[in-house]
Structure 1
Amino acid sequence: MTPLSAPIFAFGDAQKLAPEDSYTRPPRLDGMLAMTGPSVTTEPGCLPVRGDLAHIKLAGRYFVPHYAVPMPHAIKAGAVLRATGRADGETIMDLPEGETFNVLDIAGAWTWGQLGEDGPVGYVALTDLEAIG
C-alpha cells in the first residue's frame, strides 16, 4: 500500500493514523476494471451503448458514465423503432407486435433500448410499449 504522507487530522492526544491502512490506494490498478487504453466506439444502432448510457452487459467493454439494467416491455401493434426520440425521427424499422423491447432509458414520451437481446437499438414511443410483469 502507498503510505500516507502526513496525518489527515491532529486532535491533541488522539492516536495518529497508521502509515498504511484501508484508506490508502495501491499504486496501480490492475485487472478487469483498469483503464488500459482508449474507449472503443460503436456504430449507432448496433449495440445498446451511447455517450451517456449503456446496457449493463457492456460494462467491461465500453466506458460510459452510467450502465442500465434492461426493463423488458411488450411491443404493441404499430410500434416503430426510430433513430431519434421524435415522431418525425428517421424510421429504422416497424417492430413486431408482442416481441420484447428492452428499455434502458425513458425520457418524457420516449424510450431508448434494444429489440430483444441482440436486435437493433433505437427509440420507441412509450405509448407503444407495455411493461412486462
Structure 2
Amino acid sequence: MSAKASYSLPEGIVGLKGPIQKPAPGTLPLRGDLAHVALAHRFLAAHYVIPLLRVVGDQDVTLKLNSRDDAENGAEIPAGSEVEVLDREGDWLWITCGPEGPSGYVRTSALKPDSDA
C-alpha cells in the first residue's frame, strides 16, 4: 500500500518532562512495551512502532482490549476503514485508527490481505 500517514514523525531527541496520566485501555495506541511512534513526545515506551497500513475486510470489526476472544469489547471499526497495524501476537493483530486511537486487537482474518489493500 503506498498511502502516507497524515501525522509527522518525531524529530531530534525525544524526552518527557514530568508525570503523565495513563490513558484508558482501547484509546491511544500505547502499551507498556510498545507505542505508536507519533506518541513518542508524549509517552514513554520501551519501543515505538512505525505502523503498517491495512484495510478492514468486508465486515465491521469490534476491537478487543486484549488478544482473546473473551476479552472486553472496545470500539467498532467499519468495514473498508484504513487502520494501522502495530503488533502481531499469533493470529491477533494490535491495530489503531491513528495515533489518537482507538486501538485494540482483531483476528488477522478481519483485515484484507496485503495484496487486496
TM-score (normalizing by structure 2): 0.74
- Find the counterpart in structure 2 of residue 111 from structure 1: 93
2:35 paired residue among 45, 51, 54: 54
Q: Which runs of 4+ in 1 moved over 6 A?
A: none
Q: Partner residue of 2:65? A: 83
Alignment CA distance shift 1:94-1:110 (3 Å): same
Q: Kindly indicate whether the alpha-carbon contact (under 8 Å) linking 2:28 and 2:99 is maintained by their aligned counterparts in 1.
A: no
Unaligned runs of 5+ in 2: 1-11
Question: CA separation of 1:119/1:48 partners in 2, compared to 1, >3 Å: closer, same or farther?
Answer: closer
TM-score (norm 1): 0.66
Rounded to whole Å, the distance in 1 between the matches of 2:98 and 2:40 is: 18
Identity across the alignment (%): 37
Kindly indicate whether structure 1 or structure 2 has the higher relative contact order, using CA contacts under 8 Å at least 6 residues apart.
Answer: 2
Larger radius of gyration: 1
Aligned pairs for 1:22-101 (under 5 A) are 32-34=13-15, 36-38=17-19, 40-76=21-57, 77-101=59-83
Q: Which runs of 5+ in 1 are unaligned?
A: 1-30
| Pair 1:125–1:38, CA change in 2 (3 A) | same
Question: Aligned residues, how many?
Answer: 103
Separation in structure 2 between the aligned mates of residue 34 and residue 86 of structure 1, nearest angstrom? 34
Contact persistence 2:34–2:47 (CA under 8 A): yes
Residue 121 of structure 1, CA deviation: 1.0
The one-character-per-residue Cα deviations of 1:83-129 (angstroms, maximum 9, x if unpaired) are 11111222224321100121101110001121245441111111111
